[in-house]
Amino acid sequence: MTRTLIIGGVAGGMSAATRLRRLDEKAEIIVFEQGEHVSYANCGLPYYLSETIDTRDALLLQTPRSLWSRFRIDVRVQHRVVSIDPAASSIQVLKLATGETTTERFDNLIISTGAKPRLPEIDGIERALTLRDVSDADKAMDALANSPKTAVILGGGFIGVELAENLAHRGVKATIVQRGSQLLGGFDPEMIEPMHQSLETNGVSLVFGAQADSIGESTVTLSNGATLEADIVFVAAGVVPDVWLAREGGVAVGATGGIKVDDQQRTNFDNIYAVGDAVEKHGMLSGEATLIPLANLANRHGRLVADVIAGVATAAKPSVGTAIVGAFGMVAAMTGMSQVAARNAGFDAESVHLHPGSHAGYYPGAKRVSLKLTFEKSSGRILGAQGIGEDGVDKRIDVIATAMAGGLTVDDLMDLELAYAPAYGSAKDAINQAGYVANNVRAGRTSVIHANELEQSMHPVIDVRTASENAAASIPGSVLIPVDELRDRIEQVRDLAAKTGKVVVHCAVGQRGHTASQILAGMGVKALNLSGGYTTWALAQAAAARG
Ligand code: FAD
């Protein structure tokens, strides 16, 4: 009978434990968890604070007793593993209730110790709350029981945004303080701007380009000299792999700070595996080691390790990184790389923006889905996609994540047969449309220019929308020539194009702009279509103003 010990009893650890039992009824499986709970829903913690998840028990998906009854897994909570001895294939375990230490031998060891919040070294940091586990949530609930009016959240990543929304539901006015010039740094700035605007509309204040210098009794002092009221303070400034135990045991840790593993999640020791937030992932696009602290990968790799231990032939596929976050009904999701990340990684990356409806426009309730598809220009390989809007964002990003996993190109997106009825999609779905636009760009049928390139280009800008759209809001210096008048006013267009050899055309979202650029091309005028039209331009302007 093999003896598998597992350190950490949540996403990665418990996935490994239960899968191993399903594959091997005889294996001895012991899980050590330093906290009071196993298999808790850490992703649900922010929603428990607002009582959207209205009972604490709902967060506790399993108990040691339920895991024993169904799986015969020996789960020992409040047991901290304090050292690993790879040479002896043993670990030392501290029983927190009694202070007693025991040595446990293993045939296989799985490390799934997760990640811990990154804490800035500032005065008063001990006053700040974090949100990693159920005991953190208990502390936050105690603080909320005192009916705080104001909160400062240090850090504007996924957890910071979720906290802001859930605190608002408890009547707490939150300010997010973020070092950079945008929240959710994985997104391109113009793509995340609708989230900024939605948070502000719903009463959340955003402070960019600053960090906390100190935390006082009821204030936070910032590096820009400002002092913010803060009845409570949360730190949500990212996470770092929790690897001290592995490192001290001689388990190799990579340059990213995560445990190094091969494609079977094996560390530098043959019988020691590691999974989850504590480990490095193999990036599908970059081919490099990277950190992706997300639940899907922890669960998936936990299951995979059990397969490896049980002798099932398998290997981990590289990770693309797919994530989603929502607040106040605004949803932002992405897969793969942003354009900024793709270009920084050296890809010949091009992007297209589009703003189709979540479903057919004539059927009530359609919402705008803003999509950005980033691809390698030469090959059409999909490098990433970002989406933001109030409906239908998750579906589009998941389809593109699936396309990436299957090695499809942007051209293949044109031919995907996706479910359609007026209430659920469009006959030409947003995904197909993204494929059409990208294909036109790749084939050279249309040339795009991006909002952040416009000013430098010096090309005259023609607004091809209607006069009333132009009167409502327009790009400074642009000339109004509605698309239907282009042919009749071609001499005026030629005069404009004579200045730099090209004109830029734009409409509201890029669609009429494409038609306009094709009309002009047919008449011998070189025209660049502004990607995503006025909508993307306005978002890019608003995003730039925050920097
Ligand atoms: P964890 O689930 O963190 O488990 C690690 C466990 O190991 C902990 O319980 C810890 O106590 C225990 N441990 C550590 N050291 C020892 C030791 N020496 N001895 C014994 N036990 C030890 N991901 C998403 O994809 N989507 C989301 O919406 C999302 N929301 C999140 C919201 C919050 C508030 C948090 C905190 C995380 C969220 N995540 C989300 C991330 C996701 O929860 C993690 O990616 C996932 O839980 C990682 O699994 P893991 O097994 O690596 O680590």
pLDDT in tens, the chain (547 residues): 899 999 999 999 999 999 999 999 999 999 999 999 999 999 999 999 999 999 999 999 899 999 999 999 999 999 999 999 999 999 999 999 999 999 999 999 999 999 999 999 999 999 999 999 999 999 999 999 999 999 999 999 999 999 999 999 999 999 999 999 999 999 999 999 999 999 999 999 999 999 999 999 999 999 999 999 999 999 999 999 999 999 999 999 999 999 999 999 999 999 999 999 999 999 999 899 999 999 999 999 999 999 999 999 999 999 999 999 999 999 999 999 999 999 999 999 999 999 999 999 999 999 999 999 999 999 999 999 999 999 999 999 999 999 999 999 999 999 999 999 999 999 999 999 999 999 999 999 999 999 999 989 999 999 999 999 999 999 999 999 999 999 999 999 999 999 999 999 999 999 999 999 999 999 999 999 999 999 999 999 999 999 7
| Residue minimizing CA distance to atom 3 of ligand 1 | 114
Which amino acid type is present at position 299? N
Residue 177 neighbours by CB under 8 Å, 6+ apart? 152, 153, 154, 155, 156, 207, 210, 211, 212, 220, 222, 228
**Do residues 206 and 156 touch, judged by C-beta distance below 8 A?**
yes
Mutate to test the pocket of ligand 1, among 6, 42, 304 (most ligand atoms within 8 A of CB): 42
Residue 402 neighbours by CB under 8 Å, 6+ apart? none
Query: The tokens of 328 are what?
Result: 């106040």
DSSP-H helix ranges across 483-532: 490-498, 511-522
Q: How far is CA 474 from CA 305, 508, 512, 513, in A?
A: 56, 10, 15, 14
Counting from 1 in the atom list of ligand 1, the atom nearest the Cα of 46 is 34
| Residue minimizing CA distance to atom 39 of ligand 1 | 43
How far, in Å, from the CA of 277 to the mean position of ligand 1? 7
Counting from 1 in the atom list of ligand 1, the atom nearest the Cα of 297 is 45
* DSSP category for residue 158: H
Cα separation of the two ends of the chain: 60
Counting from 1 in the atom list of ligand 1, the atom nearest the Cα of 278 is 52
Query: What percent of the chain is helix, strand and coil (3-state, nearest 5)?
Result: 35, 25, 40
The pLDDT assigned to 52 comes to 96
The pLDDT assigned to 403 comes to 98
d(CA 301, CA 279): 10
Which single residue is written with the structure tokens 């050899």?
501
The pLDDT assigned to 120 comes to 94
How far, in Å, from the CA of 11 to the mean position of ligand 1? 6
How far, in Å, from the CA of 13 to the mean position of ligand 1? 10
Mutate to test the pocket of ligand 1, among 294, 303, 304 (most ligand atoms within 8 A of CB): 294
Mutate to test the pocket of ligand 1, among 167, 277, 281 (most ligand atoms within 8 A of CB): 277
How far, in Å, from the CA of 329 to the mean position of ligand 1? 25
* DSSP category for residue 357: B
What residues are in contact with ligand 1 under a 6 Å CB criterion?
7-8, 10-13, 32-35, 42-43, 45-46, 80-81, 112-114, 131-133, 159, 242, 245, 276-278, 293-296, 298
The pLDDT assigned to 1 comes to 86
The pLDDT assigned to 197 comes to 98
d(CA 471, CA 341): 36
Stretch (H or E) spanning 523: none
Counting from 1 in the atom list of ligand 1, the atom nearest the Cα of 279 is 52
Mutate to test the pocket of ligand 1, among 10, 19, 53, 83 (most ligand atoms within 8 A of CB): 10
The pLDDT assigned to 547 comes to 77
